[in-house]
């Protein structure tokens, strides 16, 4: 285990190893994982989520060499907050594994996930493949033997499936090999093929003679080009790339993309992973920037970049800040405690709570979690935390934008011997912020932490659609649907009635829905009330009003209805009830939706005649109105 000093020291080494410190928050977001030392990043896209497989440098280095026993998995949907999924596999997943769980890569195909990993470097390097039905495992070995075991230097596999469904596997140090995988992804055609490493294809070695290629290839295609990105030029390593118009070459050197590292916080190795996600391009790499880090205790980082017009990757600078967020985090849904932008002093472990998964552990006084780009909408009113093994005086302080920023409150989570949900009153906040969960209490481990969530006057950032207006009964007005709380959807007006439709009230809360007015009644010369005009505004309930216009003689105009109070934040409004002439609509709302679900709507009731029975009457009224208009 790392010492408390190492785990809680700030990233003072970041600048020393050549990383650019950009303006912004005091705490860095690179490296992206702080609860473990991680290396050899391998991004994988699946079902709208970006997964990141990594190798894992143990906290205790044995024999002054890479001490690596398993692989780790993290994921994100916003590029700033990363969820820890634990270890999907280890060298012990393979009956023939002896250790050295080095750089992995996974890929989905045919409803399964294939994880390619190097093993046994110290006793004859081999590459294995494991299979799972889920990205987070558990993975199993379908072969019971190595997939690649010929020659030497069988490390750092990279896998890619081309547009024609042909899959390729590249690997190797100091030589580079490939095979064409069969569609089952666990066998291949022919024998491994060695790639010709030339200076023209892979850059010239600074030591003279031959190419600069070293190891760790990352193979992919983008638009019309195939890419191999790789560590180059011995140790310390830089990152370079080569390009081709075909998956097997010929390769043309395209330039260096990341400089060699030196000084405190550096690593003598590097390893690339490149991916496009939500319209942006990212380069993953590793360094030694975490406290206690170095060549055998590395940490994964990520930077955004833009391809040149010629398809080449530009020079990318390491930074302590990392990329910008591509989405906000919703704190009104259950958030796993192990979803972290940055943290200090913490570890994670397998969770014993219902649902299993991972929880945060080793929580001591002064430790914290930062979660980035959190949208608290119109503020918070309560906070829930799922905790266990908590002693006395264990608390979670909630701050915006820094550890000492605006306080939303403090939640006492003491006295939970088993998994318990603690609920506390909090207040304040609006809009998007970084959220700091700062842990305070006595000495030793304070508690285990599974998940958290807020509640507030508005809990759905998207909201629901407005409800449909009620169907008119005989001689009754159809009320307008109540505006959907949380989104600017208007409730639809009521059906044509014999008297003026009452204007519907806008539901308050959320992003204020607009209540649409009831449709005018048509009977003889009488025309119904005007549509309501007020838009619901948050967070003050009842703001805005809908005023019915005067009906032409001899019929009665619509009533004026003030905006209604909230009917459940993030919930679609409901339709009005067909009522007696000139009356207000009735909200037939279901109970508040859980977790801010904003997609439910309820049709209006019609206690009067069914719509099918009214249809002939309505059509007759329309014909009478048209004849009357032509006569005028």
- Name the nearest CA neighbour of 576 among 504, 508, 486: 504
Tokens of 399: 């701050």
Output DSSP code: residue 596: G
Give the chain's radius of gyration (CA, Å): 31
Which residues share a beta bridge with 160? 168
pLDDT in tens, 256-291: 999 999 999 999 999 999 999 999 999 999 999 999
DSSP-H helix ranges across 11-146? 13-16
pLDDT in tens, 119-141: 999 889 999 999 999 999 999 99
pLDDT of residue 209: 80
Tokens of 252: 């043309």
pLDDT in tens, 143-166: 999 999 988 999 999 999 999 999
Q: Are the CB atoms for 411 and 424 separated by under 8 Å? A: yes
Does position 414 have pLDDT exceeding 80, yes or no? yes
Domain residue spans of the chain = 4-305, 335-455, 460-632
Torsion region of 199: left, alpha or beta (phi above 0 gives left; psi -120 to 50 gives alpha) = alpha
Does position 626 have pLDDT exceeding 80, yes or no? no
Q: Give the rounded percent of residues in the chain with a pLDDT score beyond 90.
A: 66
pLDDT of residue 463: 54
pLDDT in tens, 384-402: 999 999 988 999 999 999 9
Does position 320 have pLDDT exceeding 60, yes or no? yes
Note the CATH number of domain 335-455: 2.60.120.260
Confidence of residue 501 (pLDDT cuts 50, 70, 90): very low
- Name the nearest CA neighbour of 140 among 130, 127, 148: 130
Cα 332 vs. chain centroid, distance in angstroms?
14
Arithmetic mean of pLDDT, 612-628? 41
Token pair 């449709």: residue: 519
pTM of the model: 0.74
DSSP 355-368: T--EEEE---TT-E
Tokens of 619: 């059509």
Arithmetic mean of pLDDT, 84-94? 98
CA distances (Å), origin 98, targets 57, 151, 155, 339: 16, 18, 15, 32
Distance CA 210, CA 219 (A): 21
Q: Are the CB atoms for 497 and 528 separated by under 8 Å? A: yes
pLDDT in tens, 532-546: 333 333 333 333 333
pLDDT of residue 269: 98
Does position 19 have pLDDT exceeding 80, yes or no? no
Q: What is the dihedral of CA 280, 285, 287, 290, to 10 degrees?
A: 50
Distance CA 114, CA 175 (A): 24
Please name the residues in contact with 147: beta carbons below 8 A apart, sequence gap of 6 or more. Answer: 116, 127, 128, 129, 186, 187, 188
Distance CA 412, CA 391 (A): 11
pLDDT in tens, 25-71: 333 599 999 999 999 999 999 999 999 999 999 999 999 999 999 99
Confidence of residue 462 (pLDDT cuts 50, 70, 90): low
Distance CA 41, CA 28 (A): 19
Domain 4-305 is of which CATH architecture?
5 Propeller (2.115)
- Name the nearest CA neighbour of 397 among 360, 426, 432: 426
Tokens of 136: 């987070």
Highest mean pLDDT: which of 343-352, 493-502, 612-621?
343-352
Confidence of residue 208 (pLDDT cuts 50, 70, 90): confident
Distance CA 506, CA 490 (A): 8
Strand order across the 126-132 sheet: 105-109, 112-119, 126-132
Output DSSP code: residue 91: G
Name the 3-class secondary structure at 511. coil
- Range from 200-214, 418-432, 514-528 carrying the lowest mean pLDDT: 514-528
pLDDT mean across residues, the chain = 78
Q: Are the CB atoms for 57 and 300 separated by under 8 Å? A: no
């Amino acid at each position: 285990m790392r010492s408390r000093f190492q785990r809680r020291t700030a990233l003072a080494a970041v600048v020393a190893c050549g990383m650019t410190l950009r303006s912004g928050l005091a705490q860095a977001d690179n490296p992206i994982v702080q609860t473990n030392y991680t290396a050899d990043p391998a991004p994988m896209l699946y079902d709208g989520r970006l997964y990141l497989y990594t190798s894992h440098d143990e906290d205790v280095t044995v024999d002054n060499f890479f001490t690596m026993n398993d692989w780790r998995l993290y994921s994100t949907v916003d590029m700033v907050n990363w969820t820890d999924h634990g270890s999907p596999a280890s060298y012990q997943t393979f009956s023939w594994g002896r250790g050295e769980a080095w750089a992995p890569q996974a890929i989905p195909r045919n409803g399964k996930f294939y994880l390619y990993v190097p093993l046994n470097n110290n006793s004859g390097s081999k590459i294995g493949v494991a299979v799972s039905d889920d990205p987070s495992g558990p993975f199993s070995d379908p072969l019971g033997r190595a997939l690649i075991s010929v020659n030497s230097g069988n490390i750092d596999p990279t896998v890619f499936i081309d547009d024609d469904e042909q899959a390729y596997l590249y690997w190797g140090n100091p030589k580079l090999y490939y095979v064409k995988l069969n569609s089952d992804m666990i066998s291949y055609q022919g024998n491994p093929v060695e790639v010709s490493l030339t200076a023209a294809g892979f850059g010239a070695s600074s030591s003279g003679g031959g190419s600069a290629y070293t190891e760790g290839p990352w193979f992919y295609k983008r638009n019309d080009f195939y890419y191999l990105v790789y560590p180059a030029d011995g140790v310390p390593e830089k990152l370079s790339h080569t390009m081709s118009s075909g998956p097997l070459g010929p390769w043309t050197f395209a330039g260096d993309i990341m400089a060699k590292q030196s000084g405190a916080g550096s690593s003598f190795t590097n390893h690339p992973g490149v991916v496009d996600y939500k319209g942006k391009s990212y380069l993953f790499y590793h360094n030694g920037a975490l406290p206690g880090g170095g060549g055998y205790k590395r940490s994964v980082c990520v930077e955004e970049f833009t391809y040149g017009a010629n398809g080449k990757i530009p020079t990318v600078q390491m930074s302590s800040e990392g990329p910008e967020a591509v989405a906000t985090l919703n704190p009104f849904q259950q958030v796993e405690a192990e979803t972290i932008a940055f943290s200090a002093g913490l570890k994670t472990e397998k969770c014993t709570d219902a649902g299993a998964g991972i929880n945060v552990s080793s929580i001591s006084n002064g430790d914290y979690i930062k979660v980035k780009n959190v949208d608290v909408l119109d503020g918070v009113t309560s906070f829930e935390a799922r905790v266990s093994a908590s002693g006395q005086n264990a608390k979670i302080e909630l701050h915006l934008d820094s550890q000492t920023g605006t306080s939303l409150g403090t939640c006492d989570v003491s006295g939970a011997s088993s998994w318990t949900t603690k609920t506390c009153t909090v207040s304040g906040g609006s809009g998007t912020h970084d959220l700091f969960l700062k842990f305070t209490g006595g000495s030793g481990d304070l508690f285990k932490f599974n998940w958290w969530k807020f509640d507030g006057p508005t809990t759905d950032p998207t909201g629901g659609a407005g409800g449909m207006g009620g169907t008119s009964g005989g001689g009754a007005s159809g009320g307008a649907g109540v505006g959907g709380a949380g989104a600017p959807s208007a409730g639809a007006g009521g059906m044509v009635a014999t008297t003026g439709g009452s204007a519907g009230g806008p539901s308050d809360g959320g992003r204020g829905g607009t209540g649409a007015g009831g449709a005018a009644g048509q009977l003889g010369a009488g025309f119904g009330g005007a549509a309501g005009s007020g838009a619901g505004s948050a967070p003050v309930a009842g703001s805005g009003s809908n005023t019915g216009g005067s009906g032409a003689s001899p019929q009665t105009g619509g009533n004026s209805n003030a905006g209604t109070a909230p009917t459940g934040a993030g919930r679609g409004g409901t339709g009005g009830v067909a009522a007696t002439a000139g009356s207000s609509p009735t909200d037939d709302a279901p109970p508040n939706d859980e977790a801010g679900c904003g997609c439910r709507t309820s049709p209006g009731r019609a206690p009067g005649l069914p719509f099918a029975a009214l249809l002939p009457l309505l059509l007759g009224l329309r014909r009478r109105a048209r004849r009357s208009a032509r006569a005028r």
